[in-house]
Amino acid sequence: MTTVVDATRDDFDELVSAGLVLVDVWAESCRPCVALAPRVEQIAAAHPELTVVKLDASKARRVCMAHQVRGLPTFLLLRDGEEVSRLTDPSLTPEQLDEWLATELERQHGEEK
């Protein structure tokens, strides 16, 4: 079972440098972020092909600025450190997150062929 990795500003670049990575940019003060946390854990368990990383925006402002995160929650899909997709929506539901991720994973797997 894949687990969610908590990233810091010091290890973020290393954690996202290889493979397909889903980054959950969140903050404790963001209610939608906290509400989505259980779904992020489920995603990690269901998708062993993904590295799932949580980044606390309040503790990694420079990383957020570098990735142009302007709202929470934000989900970034990275391949080998490069952004291939993003989802930012303050009213994001778990179902919308699932739908976005399924679409993006299908697209990414299609590009691997």
Active site residue 64: no
Active-site annotation holder among 7, 16, 30, 72: 30
Q: How far, in whole angstroms, is CA 87 from its chain's centroid?
A: 9
Q: Catalytic residue positions?
A: 30, 33
